[in-house]
Amino acid sequence: MVRFEHVSKVYADGTRAVKDLNLEVQRGELICLIGPSGCGKTTTLKMVNRLHEPTSGKITVNGKDIMEMNPVELRRSIGYVIQQIGLFPHMTIAQNVELVPRLLGWDKERRRKRVDELLPLVGLDPDRYRNKYPRELSGGQQQRVGVIRALAAEPDLILMDEPFGALDPITRETLQDELKRIQRQLKVTIMFVTHDMNEALKLADRIVVMKDGEIHQIGTPEEILRHPKDEFVAQFIGRDRLMPAPEMVSVAEVMIRKPVTVYPDHGLAKAIATMKAQRVNSLLVVDEGGRLLGMVTPEELNGVGRGTVSDVMRRDIPTVLPTDRVQKAFRQMVQKHLDLLPVVDEQGLLVGLVTHTTLVDALARAVWRDDAVSSWTAGEAS
Amino acid sequence: MNEIITTLSNPRIQQQILEQAKEHLMISFSAVLLAILIAVPLGIFLTRCERLANPVMTVVGLLQTIPSIALLAFMIPLLGIGWRPALAALFLYALLPILRNTYAGIRSVDRGVLEAGRGMGMTPLQLLFLVELPMSFRVIMNGIRVSTVSIIGWATLAAFVGAGGLGDTILSGFALVSTGLILAGGIPVTLMALLADFLLGRLEKAVTPRGLAI
């Protein structure tokens, strides 16, 4: 769809904004260009519709060299959405939306029909909004109009330069969802510049991470998250969001760190009281040095009247090392039908506990990413 | 007081005032019209050629500082006596507010809007007529209004170079030490200036696109 071959851009002041860029944007994909300010992402985008012209190299759109096309015609065939929204304040919503069709010489009836089919696409009622002026709309509504204005002449390529950057977070999320839906529905190709990794991860089919005018890493959101090329990308993603591959997660990362314990000389009545008080259904037995001796569950306590924990506890229970992979713990629990699995280090000291809940949590984190899980937890806590 | 009333009720003087008011308006509006024809395109051109903007504005600004009587006098060796030197001097005065407002108005058009227009495939001419001029229309009209009002006032001085207008009556008033005559010329000038201000203000509002109205 769009192809960059050894494209460079040097500005008049000598700034080398883009250096020897090679990129192929597939038809129907939403590709995000991301990077810190000054990385050349916007320049790259604006070279496609010749708002900036490449100093060297070749850009083709649909196989045609853009430098051999009339820039005005080229631009009319490509949708364009910018951060400042850029609606014409002296034109009504309808006049704004039908601008490119008007420049292309569509007749009035066809333009009117197009406006009426586009407005509902972003949830705006044509009868209500057609004749309003931009300033009568909220920022979010204005950018919705900005998006459908870019779609008006049915382009198969749309360039978006941080379109949601100036909107509040909630509106931004909604517009991202709408954009993704529209893009799927209309199967348009979108080149999307952003500096917000959340946005890129959410929207992109592929992410192009740029740095100093060059492509630093390129891949699907999944690939970028799992295998960030280096510290730069990792930092850009944000440490806390960085998702180690599930096969790499260790038991220590997911285990409960302070399991409920008893000493072997505790009476059974006291052990039962501890279980009730702590709302657990098993107790780990440790000696004064913290070494794991065994475990008691209601099974062992049932029907036994007197005695101490050491009389009834199960010894030689299966354990895992904190450095073991989570899969190992998972496999053990499934195969041996365990409810829980103590984590014991090389010296035999109890350091934690793995339960079903721990594993489900770890799985959820791997599948839906960290922030999703922590937001549920936060939601439940409140 | 009596003298004023007799002067103002003299039908011959009334007739003369009417004639002079016509001359006065003619010369004022011609000067403003000429200034619009030059200053608006020049202002647009300056926004396209920023390097020239400052020097040109300075020169036009300098013209404004020359005392009107002096400027009129300068015109006589060049253009002789009559309406020509008056028109030329008034035209030069009318330039600045229109030029400045055209330049400032077009420059003040939001950059985002311009980029959107360009990115959507407007030609420079379409951008000018569909976006820049409509969006700066109010500011330009405001400059025209300021020019018109001051030119109607200054046109009084045109009488000094023999261009006629209500200045004639005022000058006669000075010569004859007649307050009546001075007022007979001065009051219509004031009324005309106020009326022009009011009407152009209304026009300004009427032609401001609804989406831009304050």
How high is the mean pLDDT of chain A? Answer: 87
pLDDT attached to residue A378: 44
Q: Is the pLDDT of residue A305 over 70?
A: no
Residue (of A372, A377, A375, A382) closest to A357 by Cα position: A377
- A375, part of any domain: no
Q: Let me know whether A169 and A275 are in one domain.
A: no
C-alpha to C-alpha distance for A216 and A44, rounded to whole angstroms: 14
Given a cut of 70, whether residue A241 has pLDDT beyond it is no
pLDDT at B69 over 80: yes
CB B105 within 8 A of CB B136: yes
Asked if residue A364 has pLDDT above 80, the reply is no
Chain B residues close to A134, C-beta within 8 Å:
211
Q: Give the whole-number percent of chain A exceeding pLDDT 70.
A: 92
Q: Is B118 on the interface with A (CB under 8 A)?
A: yes
Overall average pLDDT of the B53-60 stretch: 91
Considering its fold, how many domains does chain A have in total?
2
Q: What is the mean pLDDT of residues B64-70?
A: 85
Residues A15, A137 within the same domain: yes
Do A239 and A255 lie in one domain? The reply is no
Of A44, A55, A104, A4, the closest CA to residue B120 belongs to: A104
Shared domain for A323 and A266, answered yes or no, is yes
Minimum mean pLDDT range among A23-32, A110-119, A182-191, B171-180 = B171-180
Contact B116 A103 (CB under 8 A): no
A312: CATH? 3.10.580.10
**Nearest by Cα to A351 from A216, A253, A275, A229:** A253
* DSSP letter assigned to residue A261: E
Contact B121 A74 (CB under 8 A): yes
Cα gap A225→A112, rounded to integer Å = 45
Whether A231 and A289 map to the same domain: the answer is no
Contact B85, B163 (CB under 8 A): yes
B126 contacts A84? CB cut-off 8 A? no
Residue A248: predicted pLDDT: 66
Please list, in sequence order, all residues whose beta carbon lies within 8 angstroms of the beta carbon of residue B140, skipping any fewer than 6 positions away. B40, B43, B98, B101, B102, B105, B133
pLDDT at A57 over 90: yes
* Chain A hits for B138, Cβ within 8 Å: none
User: What is the distance of C-alpha A226 from the center of its chain?
Assistant: 12
Q: Any residues with CB less than 8 A from the CB of A76 and at least 6 apart, and which?
A: A100, A103, A104, A153, B120, B121
pLDDT value at residue B103: 95
Identify the band that residue A243 occupies on the pLDDT scale cut at 50, 70 and 90: low
Residue closest to A327 by CA, chosen among A364, A362, A352: A362
| Structure-model confidence comparison of residues B158 and B117, the more confident one | B117
Mean pLDDT across A352-379: 67
Are residues A200 and A219 part of one domain? yes
What's the whole-number mean pLDDT along residues B53-57?
91
Interface mutation target, options B110, B113, B120, B133, chain A, most CBs of A under 10 Å = B120
- The domain of A356 spans 251-361
Confidence at A379, pLDDT banded by 50, 70, 90: very low
A51 touches chain B (CB under 8 A): yes
- In this complex, the residue of B121, B135, B212 whose CB is nearest that of residue A75 is B121
Write out pLDDT tens, residues B75-86.
888 888 888 899
Q: Which of A49, A91, A134 sits opposite B119 (nearest CB)?
A: A49
Q: How confident is the model at residue A380 (pLDDT cuts 50, 70, 90)?
A: very low
Q: How confident is the model at residue A309 (pLDDT cuts 50, 70, 90)?
A: confident
Comparing A33-47, A180-194, A312-326, the range with the smallest average pLDDT is A312-326
Residue with tokens 């629990």: A333
For chain B, the average pLDDT equals: 90
Q: Is residue A367 part of a domain?
A: no
Q: What are the E-state strand segments in chain A?
A: 2-10, 16-25, 30-34, 56-61, 64-65, 78-82, 157-161, 189-194, 206-211, 214-219, 261-262, 283-286, 292-296, 340-344, 350-355
> Nearest by CB to B120, which of A76, A91, A135?
A76
Same structural domain, A202 and A237: yes
Has residue A112 been placed in a domain? yes
Contact A180, A147 (CB under 8 A): no
User: A51 in helix, strand or coil?
Assistant: coil
Tell me: the pLDDT tens digits for B147-197? Answer: 999 999 999 988 888 888 898 889 888 888 888 888 888 999 999 999 999
**CA-CA distance, A118 to A126, in Å (whole number)?**
9
Answer with the residue of higher pLDDT: A252 or B107.
Answer: B107
- Residue ending a domain, among A205, A220, A244, is A244
Contacts of B106 (CB under 8 A, 6+ apart): B43, B44, B47, B132, B133, B136
Residues A226 and A351 in one domain: no
User: Is the CB of residue A76 less than 8 Å away from at least one CB of chain B?
Assistant: yes
User: Across the interface, do A87 and B120 touch by the CB < 8 Å criterion?
Assistant: no
- Using the 3D structure, point to which of A244, A271, A295 is the last residue of a domain: A244
Nearest-10 crossing angle of helices B167-175, B11-48: 130
Mean pLDDT, residues B81-104: 92
Q: Which pair of structure tokens corresponds to residue A266?
A: 């505790």
Give domain status of residue A280, yes or no. yes
CB-based contact, B106 to chain A, within 8 Å: no
Please tell me whether residues A45 and A99 are part of one structural domain.
yes
For the record, the structure tokens of A258 come out as 């302070």
Q: How high is the pLDDT of residue A242? A: 58
Say yes or no: A32 and A92 in one domain. Answer: yes
pLDDT at position A368: 65
Who among B112, B118, B130 is closest to A85 (CB)? B112
Judged against a pLDDT cut of 90, whether residue A275 lies above it is answered with: no
Residue A381 has a pLDDT of 37
| Residue A152, pLDDT score | 95
Shared-domain flag, residues A228 and A329: no
The reply to whether B131 touches chain A by the CB within 8 Å rule is yes
Q: Which residues of A touch B129 (CB under 8 A)?
A: none
H helices of A309-355, in order, are 309-312, 326-335
Q: Which residues of A touch B123 (CB under 8 A)?
A: 72
The one-letter code for the residue type at B141 is: M
Rounded Cα gap, residues A223 and A243, in angstroms: 10
Within this chain, do residues A125 and A96 fall inside the same structural domain, yes or no? Answer: yes
Average pLDDT over residues A178-202: 92
Which one, of A135, A202, A123, lies nearest residue A169 by Cα? A202
Among B119, B134, B211, select the one facing A80 at the smallest CB separation.
B119
Q: Distance (Å, rounded) from C-alpha A381 to C-alpha A372? A: 14
- pLDDT confidence bin for B52, thresholds 50/70/90: very high
Domains defined for chain B, CATH in brackets: 28-209 (1.10.3720.10)
